Chain A
Amino acid sequence: MRHVSTLFFLKQTISDYIYTPFSANTLFFLSPFHYHIINYSSIYFHWNRSTMVDTVTITTLDVEETELRLGLPGAGDKKRGFEETVDLKLNLSSKDAPSDQTHFQRENVTDDAKTSSAKPPAKAQVVGWPPVRSFRKNVMARSAAEESAFVKVSMDGAPYLRKVDLKMYKTYQELSDALGKMFSSFTIGKCDTQGMLDFMNESKLMDLLNSSDYVPTYEDKDGDWMLVGDVPWEMFVGSCKRLRIMKGTEAKGLG
């Protein structure tokens, strides 16, 4: 499915938020309004800066469409979403686009790294053109731009470590899914697509973090342990040396 989506950013709000795509699948959005949103996937924000609005409409797309992540422009991540529109009654109008807004537009492409073939973008594709053998097409699709980036993944409490190739994934969500599958026997209380936690309930959210749910962290080139998700995906892949999935309780200090 192809979809042209528009995401409006406000330049200064970029520094106003952080997002952690893994921990309890939670998105923390620090704004003047200080609300937390739990999301399983990425979310559209339509945000009008010039008015002091206090509503925001959060729309997540259906499973089949990819959508823009809330991230730094150029992060280029796309994820699946699910259909829910929630009006938080904060009255943030989404209609107009004043000229001083940062306009972020991208064409969505359904991308499944595992099947190793990217669907083509809007340009019309002729069958069998350019005339290139399927074998070659598959090799090109599979080849990542840089070297494979195998890193060890440890999970607190798990009896053995695993290794993942970060080059196999293009977004944090994909990595999260893969790790989830790898360690599924060890995790407790994960959110799934059906259940979207009541994000308005802050205490419930904190319960989740305090519970045995997990937070992914990584060791970077300098040897420091960082929370996964702060930096754009490519930067993360370039600097991640190993992954450690920490218990939620231990991770609080990193948030």
Chain B
Amino acid sequence: MCLFQFQSVMNYFPEEVLEHVFDFLTSHRDRNTVSLVCKSWYSVERFSREKVFIGNCYAVNPERLIARFPRLRSLTLKGKPHFADFNLVPDGWGGHVYPWIEAMAKSGINLEELKLKRMVVSDESLELLAKSFPNFKSLVLVSCEGFTTVGLAAIASNCRFLRELDLQENEVDDLKGKWLSCFPESCTSLVSLNFACLKGEVNVVALERLVARCPNLRSLRLNHTVPLEVLQKILVRAPQLSDLGTGSFTHDPDSETFIKLKNAMKNCHSIRSLSGFLDVNGRCLPAIYPICISLTSLNLSYAPGIFSNELIKLICHCKKIERLWILDTIGDKGLGVVANTCKELQELRVFPSDLYGVGNTAVTEEGLVAISAGCPKLNSILYFCQQMTNAALITVAKNCPNFIRFRLCTLDPIVPDAVTNQPLDEGFGAIVQSCKRLTRLSVSGLLTDQVFLYIGMYAEQLEMLSIAFAGDSDKGMLYVLNGCKKLKKLEIRDSPFGNMALLSDMGKYETMRSLWMSSCEVTLGGCKTLAEKMPWLNVEIINEHEAGEGEGEASCDDRHRVEKMYLYRTLVGPRKDAPDFVWTL
């Protein structure tokens, strides 16, 4: 059959068939693509799409979302820019979820899942959510803020079919409410419960009973107030768990409770993922050795109290680990052990334990090189280190051409090559040249424009780039903007890039989700120019100075450097909830 005939046959397929075919497309990117083929495909796709991902909540509004996807069941929303995680975005910037929930409630959307990242979630939002969607099943909040245990109580009380309540690293005001007791006796559907980020105590009796009546519970992550005795009882009731986050993991290792815990652990044959240890005594770690052999994911990055030798002993049992998050207390030697033991390792994150520069030893380039040599499946790394060398990075690049994410963070943001004192341009250059599938990159250390030349030249698949204290001139930023065709998110701080780079290819920003520039050389005038020429962009200036101070001529002076600028493409114009200190040009 020739192409023309095939095309006409496709057009005669009933919509149900098309819909069925589209069902197999799970990635939202694929769905976006098919919706561009023709009007009928657009129409079929939009009525059949149940899961929507919105990477920037201000790129679109709730009304348009609902109008296009009336069958929406699952929504993912991201709010604040990434650098908000590091205190670069003042409080009150925005990212409120309430309007979205309100609009969906009014329109009769049958919402079942909501996943939010870096958004402001008020108790009112949670209450409205809980009461408006009778089939609501899953709430995942990552790095959000604005709610208290009152809101959680509303979710627990009202969501009769709740399967998942997953709170990851949120700032929650713990009003010591009994939110956990609010799960009614009739609630037996929980599959996943994660309250590790809560600071206050929970009703442990209610917790045990909840666990006992939810036979499908697979994932449970406790907070640090849940003592080891309770953990032991929970494990006895829920040996089917596959993902466990311990609360406090400290007890007298000779006590009967501890022995009971060890036995309970041995019985948990399904645990594949382990985290928590928010409060830990290294001598209690042997209790988990029996499950280490089957673990694929281990997160010890909140446990500075585990010493290097204890960590190493533990790691030796973890031969099947694929994802490992640890602290740099493990040391280069410990990383060597990881390299020898964890041959299935795919993702490694080494976080800093010494955040205030008191002088604890961190890891160096040696550890990274060892890992790259020993772990052939490694494709994602986040590495906070004391020092780095070009030679090491070049070796790593040769050993691991499969990196998808490569994030290196030197504790001193502009430290040069520890051996040669040169910038780290060549090292990162080797990474981008070798890793053809790299989609995310964070650079640090002493860097000149040269590294950006390499990035622009070689990082063809790069979607997200984070730059801090790097580069010499506008050329650096230009290399990146001209070269990285798939760039979606660019975030830059404290680098000498100015208007020339910003304005050279303004159309580029419509192909990207967002650009963040803070403490750079960009001026108010440059931003204004950009905003004028590009109506589909919101160019926001964050001005944190007090009203009156620096206002009037000074702040309106186009030659003034802009402290923080965040621009993003949008279909709906300037946002209406911007606070005083955010100025949309």
Contacts and interface: CB of A to CB of B under 8 A. Distances in A.
Given A136-B169, A139-B278, A147-B279, A131 B85 contact: yes
Contacts of B351: 132, 136
A140 B353 CA distance: 7
Contact of A143 (B171, B278, B356, B384): B278
Given A135-B169, A147-B281, A147-B305, A127 B248 contact: no
Given A129-B86, A134-B87, A146 B281 contact: yes
Q: Is the interface of A mostly helix, strand, loop or mixed?
A: loop
A121 B360 CA distance: 13
Interface string B55-89: 00000000000000000000000000001011110
B550 interface: no
Given A128-B493, A147-B305, A134 B171 contact: yes
B125 interface: no
A61 B278 CA distance: 37
B143 A135 contact: yes
A143 B250 CA distance: 12
B305 A131 contact: no
B290 to A, nearest CB: 22
B197 A135 contact: yes
A139 B278 CA distance: 8
B352 A132 contact: yes
Contact of B357 (A121, A127, A140): A121
Contacts, number: 81
A129 B413 contact: yes
Given A129-B86, A131-B86, A131-B409, A118 B302 contact: no
A143 B302 contact: yes
Contacts of B279: 143-144, 147-148
Contacts of B197: 135
Interface residues of B, number: 35
A130 interface: yes
Given A129-B468, A130-B355, A135-B143, 12 more contacts: A120-B356, A127-B88, A128-B86, A128-B87, A132-B352, A133-B85, A133-B169, A136-B351, A143-B304, A146-B305, A147-B251, A148-B279
B431 interface: no
B493 to A, nearest CB: 7
Nearest to A127: B87
Contacts of A132: 86, 351-352, 355, 384
B250 A136 contact: no
B221 to A, nearest CB: 14
A130 B352 contact: yes
A39 B296 CA distance: 57
Given A120-B357, A121-B358, A145 B305 contact: yes
Closest 7 CB pairs of A and B: A128-B86, A147-B250, A147-B281, A135-B169, A123-B357, A120-B356, A131-B86
Nearest to A144: B305
A133 B169 CA distance: 9
A126 interface: yes
29 contacts: A119-B356, A121-B356, A121-B358, A127-B86, A128-B86, A128-B87, A128-B493, A130-B355, A130-B384, A130-B409, A131-B86, A131-B409, A132-B86, A132-B384, A133-B143, A134-B87, A135-B143, A135-B170, A135-B197, A136-B169, A136-B351, A137-B355, A139-B278, A140-B355, A143-B305, A144-B305, A146-B281, A147-B250, A147-B281
Interface string A88-129: 000000000000000000000000000000111101011111
A131 B407 CA distance: 11
Contacts of B251: 147
B291 to A, nearest CB: 21
B447 interface: no
Interface residues of A, number: 27
A172 to B, nearest CB: 22
Q: Is the interface of B mostly helix, strand, loop or mixed?
A: loop
Question: Most chain-A Cβ atoms within 10 A of its Cβ — which of B143, B279, B301?
Answer: B279
Interface string B290-324: 00000000000111110000000000000000000
Nearest to B353: A140
Contacts of A148: 248, 250, 279
Nearest to B413: A129
Contacts of A146: 281, 305
Contacts of B250: 147-148
B441 to A, nearest CB: 14
B235 to A, nearest CB: 20
A118 B413 CA distance: 21
Nearest to A128: B86
A80 to B, nearest CB: 20
Contact of B303 (A123, A130, A143): A143
Interface string B142-174: 010000000000000000000000000111000
Contact of B302 (A121, A134, A139): A139
Nearest to B354: A140
A74 to B, nearest CB: 15
Interface string A72-98: 000000000000000000000000000
Nearest to A146: B305
A112 to B, nearest CB: 14
Contacts of B278: 139, 143
B280 interface: yes
Interface string B461-480: 00000001000000000000
Nearest to A116: B199
A139 B304 CA distance: 9
Nearest to A118: B356
B360 to A, nearest CB: 11
Contacts of A140: 302, 304, 353, 355
A196 to B, nearest CB: 34
B140 interface: no
A137 B327 CA distance: 12
